[in-house]
Structure 1
Amino acid sequence: MKSSIKFEYSAHYRTSHIVNRKEKEIFIALHGYGQLSEFFLRKLHPIFFEDRLIIVPEATNYAYHQGFSGRVGANWMTKHERETAILNNNNYLNALLQSFLLKYPNKPKIKVMGFSQGAATATRWVSQLAVPVDTLILWGGGFAHDLDLGKASENLQGTKCYIALGDQDEFVTEESIQKQDELIKAMGLDVEKLSYPGGHDLETQLLAQILEGQKLDDRYLLKNV
């Protein structure tokens, strides 16, 4: 007979700096499969600013990259007990964000990025989030296929949404692109589709332009992804 139990759990995260309460934005970046927050945060160093607090939560499922020793990575979920993992992720990220918002008399803008597996996790999270998200960036990934499309559409109508894909990303296929287009159409969202030279990795110059609201270089813009 299968049963479940709830208990207190500790999760880890890293930040770009100690909160100074003068930040104008909180940028929450969800890493990809098999990564750790420490090393993912290092990739974001070019976009560190005093008025931008970067928070990198670390997923709570851990495994060795190979065999039974050596490098360890974290992941947001697997197919096993996936519904429980999704609920746990949402509760974790809700609590983490709220713990920071309590520090501010004037709430900063909330910007969210999900990289690779973190992209699907980010879309599941923001689609149930009670506070507005200014910007959602899906990098090397896309919207989760199991979203409540009506709820996601309602929550994201006022959000600036972007999908950024490397032109040599081995995980991007015509089929995955088509599925994303169908989801976006079903939700009625205006999503800026971007491409950059490279594979399954971040391109911080493009990321900086998105976060700072700059006019994006023409080389990044795509009419159809």
Structure 2
Amino acid sequence: MKKSIRFSYEAHYSISHEPSGKEKELWLVFHGYGQLAEFFIRKFLPFDSADRVILAPEGTNYGYLKEFQGRVGANWMTKHEREVAIANNHRYLNFLLEQTLENFESLPKIHVLGFSQGAATCTRWASQWKGQIATLVLWAGGFAQDLSLDLGREKFEHTELILAFGDQDELIQEEHKAQQMALVQSLGKSIQVLTFPGGHELDSHLLEKIMNHEI
């Protein structure tokens, strides 16, 4: 008989600095498939400041990136036991935010950026989180296709939505972009679609504009 058991689990994350509790904004950034938070967060460190802290959770599933040895990467979920993985992600991320925010004098604005697989993961999580998301950036990815439209419509009513794609991203097809735009329209939201010359990657120039609210 196949059964399951729930137990305490240790998960990892990276943070740009130890929060003082006085920061005005917190950026929660989700890495893509096969990445690790400690390396992913490096793209965001130039934007760390006394007023801004950056938090990068790490997927709890790990595997070798090639064959059976060498570099290891994390991922948020696979098709195997996907519903269990999604629920585990939500518990982990909710607890991480709760612990991070409990010592703030006043709650900072929460901005969320998801890259590639991290984009779908962050939309699932954000749609059920009790707090308010000021900005949701989906980079080289998009809303989870199984996202509850009723939840999303209510949750992202006051959230600024941004889609960012490289114009040479071989992993993002025009069909995917059309599906995302249709989903956003069904949410009754407007969205900014931004492109940059490049592939399946974070572009530092466009990232700077987004992080500094210059878009």
Give TM-score, length-normalised by structure 2.
Answer: 0.97
Secondary structure of the corresponding residue to residue 106 of structure 2: coil
Give the deviation of 1:67 after TM superposition: 1.3
> 1:171-202 deviations in whole A, cap 9, x for unaligned?
11111111111211111121111111111111
**Superposition RMSD in Å:** 1.0
Q: Which amino acid aligns with 2:80?
A: H
> 1:78-122 deviations in whole A, cap 9, x for unaligned?
011001111111111111011011011211000110000000000
State yes or no: 1:67 paired with 2:67.
yes
In structure 2, C-alpha distance between the alignment counterparts of 1:76 and 1:168, rounded to whole Å: 25
Q: Percent identity between the aligned chains? A: 52
How do residues 1-225 of structure 1 correspond to structure 2 at under 5 angstroms?
1-214=1-214, 216=215
Secondary structure of the corresponding residue to residue 145 of structure 2: coil
Give the deviation of 1:205 after TM superposition: 2.2
Q: What are structure 2's unaligned runs of at least 5 residues?
A: none
Secondary structure of the corresponding residue to residue 114 of structure 1: strand
What is the number of residues matched between the two proteins?
Answer: 215
In structure 2, C-alpha distance between the alignment counterparts of 1:131 and 1:45, rounded to whole Å: 25
Contact in 1 for aligned 2:22/2:106 (Cα 8 Å): no
Q: What are structure 1's unaligned runs of at least 5 residues?
A: 217-225
Q: Which amino acid aligns with 2:209?
A: Q
Q: Which amino acid aligns with 1:102?
A: E
In structure 1, C-alpha distance between the alignment counterparts of 2:101 and 2:190, rounded to whole Å: 27
Runs of 4+ residues deviating >4 angstroms:
none
In structure 2, C-alpha distance between the alignment counterparts of 1:211 and 1:65, rounded to whole Å: 30
